[in-house]
Amino acid sequence: MTAAQTMTQEQAHATLTAPGAPFEVIEDDVLGHRMKVYKQRFTSLREVAAFAQTRGDNDTFLVYGDRRWSTGQFLREANSVGRLLTERCNVGQGDRVAVLSANNPQWCLTFWGTVDIGAILVGLNGWWKADEILYGLQDSGSRVLVADRGRIMRIAGSLDQLPDLEHIYLIDCAPADVGLDGDGRVHSFDELLTAPHDELPDAKIDEDDPAVIF
């Protein structure tokens, strides 16, 4: 290949973003400001999930230890999380669902189950100490918390400081394991996985709606 045949980075960018090209760039209004955006962009994270759903069960989407999830299986479980957050916790547009956990499938499932119903995922820092966790939950206005054993233990004795927190789902332990068996707000995360299905939520999501707080 000669130098004349080699497309420069600038030429490649111009070709891909030109009118009619897959990554055509236009100017549009974003929260009152004119900005350059992709014309054929996804307008919500749910559209990303819908696109991924076309892969079905013919791939390996997620690996955790000895377990494997296809894209289809993962999204069915995420849809279960979203539906049960709506039905059992009355989570809807703009509500905050916090995650306080190490990296694991439940973290990922909570993320997609939350943003796909138009709610806001609050990713709390797993290294935070008790007072930082409490502040994060209070300041974000989180109504639901998904947590693993190691981190819920940091605030188990201080839940009375979180009157707005209505539901807590534990990933890797039972409420009795962390001294919370008498708290009606506390459940097993597995309860959110009991309704797997293929239908994505239909709650309206505007392109400028908040999706996450980190």
DSSP β-ladder status, 67-69 and 96-100:
unpaired
124-134: burial string, b at 16+ Cβ within 10 Å, e else:
bebebeeeebb
All residues at 6 or more sequence positions from 33 whose CB lies less than 8 Å from its CB, including other chains: none
At residue 144, the pLDDT reads 98
Question: Residue 95 corresponds to which tokens in the numbers above?
Answer: 């509500």
Q: Are 73 and 80 in contact (CB under 8 A)?
A: no
Q: What is the mean pLDDT of the chain?
A: 95
pLDDT of residue 200: 97
Across 165-194, average pLDDT = 96
Enumerate the domain spans of the chain.
8-38, 45-213
**pLDDT for residue 101:** 98
pLDDT tens across 83-101, in order? 999 999 999 999 999 999 9
Confidence of residue 3 (pLDDT cuts 50, 70, 90): low
Rg (CA), the chain: 21
- Residues 77-106 as b/e (b if ≥16 CB within 10 A, e otherwise) read bbbbbbbbbbeebebeeebbbbbbbeebbb
- Is pLDDT at 66 greater than 90 in this prediction? yes
Specify the pLDDT at position 95. Answer: 98
Please report, rounded to a whole number, the percentage of residues in the chain having pLDDT higher than 70.
98
What is the reported pLDDT for 7? 81
pLDDT grade for 2, boundaries at 50, 70 and 90: low
Over pLDDT 90: what percentage of the chain?
Answer: 92
Please determine, for residue 36, whether its predicted confidence score (pLDDT) is greater than 90. yes
CATH architecture of 45-213: 3-Layer(aba) Sandwich (3.40)
How confident is residue 6, by pLDDT bands cut at 50, 70 and 90?
confident
Q: How confident is the model at residue 4 (pLDDT cuts 50, 70, 90)?
A: low
Residue with tokens 């236009």: 26
- When pLDDT is averaged across residues 143-168 and rounded to a whole number, the result is 97
The average pLDDT across 107-127 equals 98
Range 72-91 average pLDDT: 98
